[in-house]
Structure 1
Amino acid sequence: MLRFVPVLLIRRRSSPPPSIRHHLPLLLSPLRHLDTLAPPALPLPRYPSAKDAYFAVVHHIAGIVRRDFYLERTLGRLRLPPATPDLVFRVLRAAAPSAPLPALRFFAWARSSSHSYRPSAAEFDALILPLARHRHWSQMWSVAADMRSLSLPLLPSTFASVIDAYGQAALPDLAVDVFNRLPKFDCPQTTAIYNALLSALCRVGNFHGAYALIRRMARKQVPPDRQTFSTLVDAWCAAGKLREAQDFLEEMNRRGFKPPVRGRDLLIDGLVNAGYLEAAKEMVRRMTKEGVLPDVTTFNSLLEAVCKSGEIDFCVGLLQDASELGLCPDISTYKILIPAVSKLGKIEEAFRLFYCAVEDGNKPFPSLYAAIIKALCRAGRFSDAFGLFKDMKVKGHPPNRPVYTMLVKMCVRGGRFVEAANYLVEMTEMGLVPMPQSFDSVVDGLKHCGKHELAKRMEQLEVSIRGY
């Protein structure tokens, strides 16, 4: 049964060709009684216009091509009018991506069934790329040869896609073969084709071949474009060849191309992983001056590495500059910076970052609170630390065992043994088992300051928990 196909999906023509419009009643009438199609249990739909009927016919023919094993016989029974380039192209475009070989059979049938039909380059192009993607190489070259025999131009964009399909299939030798055979088909080797082959070579790590291809571009005076350099930068960064990637980024700048953000992100990641922090920092500085933002994941990896080297002030300033340019830090950014500034005793800066994280919509987790609480305890500001810890619980962020353990330890170091004992009791009430070292340090501290009764109760609590 025919189905209605929305007109909005087809944009090439506003109405069917006159030859098809003239034959529509003849074309539609036999579909009611065709045994090989779906049973005509329901009446055929009414089409509001000849254009809708035409598109429905295209859709139905494409369905036959995709699913009917004896498609030539079925199409012959339809008593179709003479084929036109528009009808054949639309059917091929609908059927070839999923069924390239049946589409090729339909194309051959259309050419043999109508002596007046002369295929255009569009029909051939609609076949070549699907055949390549499904790895029907011999059929693809047969179609290309047929196209050449008709003196039809081969589009470079089509064969750039074919070369790219070979590259994605990890078949660089076949990609090179396509590239070398293009002059025989009078298809120019454009920059897009060079880029496709370059990507295919880099994808398998053939950098020697990539260098040779770049030299060939220079000899043939084929101008590289931004995609050329982007492909090389991405490939060299992925392979850890950081110096080559930097060289090509500099070459892009000299030629007036805007360096790709992704390539620079990969280069920054590579420099950080290799320990070249100064070069990575310089790269980020240059990007921010140009108003270009790195990816937040790349930014975080740089922050983490620089924080480990002790340059906390640089990281805070870099975050501020990047945020002014529109970088949206995520919770991982704050997870790196808040403990770092807290460890240096910069409590106000830690609080500022903490509230920025909350304002950005992030839900702080216990370790962020713990870093600031620990810094407050180290500074002797125990009342502020206890207040923040209470605020943490009130706002629905229940502390975990490491946070309690840290707080007990800091209380012991600060001589706050009673508060430490209270937190041990609170832990047990929450179902958290304190570490033996926590009990030992609290009991010893209580005994040292004369709180023997409370020390005895802590010992009994430990026995009741551990059973010995």
Structure 2
Amino acid sequence: MTIRVLNCQSRLSLRRYIVSAKLYSSGGQAIDVAVVANKISKVMMSSPQPVLDSALDQSGLRVSPEVVENVLNRFRNAGLLAYRFFQWSEKQRHYEHSVRAYHMMIESTAKIKQYKLMWDLINSMRKKKTLNIETFCIVMRKYARAQKVDEAIYAFNVMEKYDLPPNLVAFNGLLSALCKSKNVRKAQEIFEKMRDRFTPDSKTYSILLAGWGKEPNLPKAREVFRDMINAGCDPDIVTYSMMVDILCKAGRVAEALGIVRSMNPSICKPTTFIYSVLVHTCGTENRLEEAVDTFLEMERSGIEPDVAVFNSLIGAFCKANRMKNVYRVLKEMKVKGVTPNSKSCNIILRHLIDRGEKDEAFDVFRKMIKVCEPDADTYTMMIKMFCEKKEMKTADKVWKYMRKKGVFPSMHTFSVLINGLCEERDTQKACVLLEEMIEMGIRPSGVTFGRLRQLLLKDGREDVLKFLNEKMNLLVNDPLCD
């Protein structure tokens, strides 16, 4: 089996593309950032790793900080591919990486657990004297998300060595990283030890409040709230939002509504986020009338609904299987000048697919892509749906359309298509896709790789399995280093 062949026709296509992909016209007029980023993305997605640098060189495309940030954002789920582009762009004349570009790259490498590359980037920033508190907040957040709690704390403690003495912002960053990764008990322990070193503010308490709410532990959340009041920190809109969210998750909608109604609008006015939480909770608890009443109460109070509140209402109607009302909400959004987003689309599609109404789901998908930009989750749902229907040609069409639109596939998008191909015993296409996934720096799940492995062994293709295993070894985890 040939895993990847750059044949004559593809080379010619690449050459034609390179000729047409110049950044500057003969008059030297700069083209729009998004246009340039889109052209670079196409080169990156169509060029094998060994020739990527030369393909980018031959394209004649010139980068700016804005272009690089745009491209890195598009390839945020493909850390190694993004890193190759990051390295290439750094060599271009009259260009220097922005702090934001470094931060995006640090996030991407950490996401695929390439921690040595991540620290190389940090040390590069150190040499350029561009390190800041946010850099280490990102590192702490990424380590905590990977459940590397000790490493997250290490990143906080090592800041001094990098000439960045930790302050309250860094302290809050560490607590936030731990709380968001469901390590609130550790966060509370660190808070108690260091509260005298860093005087807590309302944000500190709100972070702990959110952490206990996520646990969930309502009594502990109430304790933190009381501690906040006793420390002389007045609750702000973030704190109120947290309490409403926590109470709603605990099923205490009436109490949450009571808090909202007791808020003094002249001091702290309820936000659309608070109402979106209330409407969403009522909807998930099958309290449709209350969801609608809460939405109308918000409008009566003079708060204009945004897409998040509309999405909560759409979700409530979907839960009650009131599709006519869903489409009425979409019309109301249009009247009010609120554009649906990918989440609006995903809520409706997920409901229709779960109910087995797959033809209607595809019809909604085709209509929604004309008014909003679908995300990777949208395409993943559609590809999975067609794989389950054994309509692999249509699944492939959706895949190609997604790539054409410049939406980068997530690990789940690759997985559903590879699993679908395995189901059809199309191991050749599945292997090509898995190799592409690995080359983009996305580590396949054990289930996906295991399934393909079994098929290759059945087919007696140990040679291909060995090749893919070698590719996988490029994505091994690196130890902590500074």
**Aligning the two structures, in what range does the TM-score lie when normalised by the shorter sequence?**
0.3 to 0.5
Q: Which has the larger radius of gyration?
A: 1
TM-score normalized by the length of structure 1: 0.46
TM-score normalized by the length of structure 2: 0.45
Of structures 1 and 2, the one with the larger relative CO (CA 8 A, separation 6+) is 2
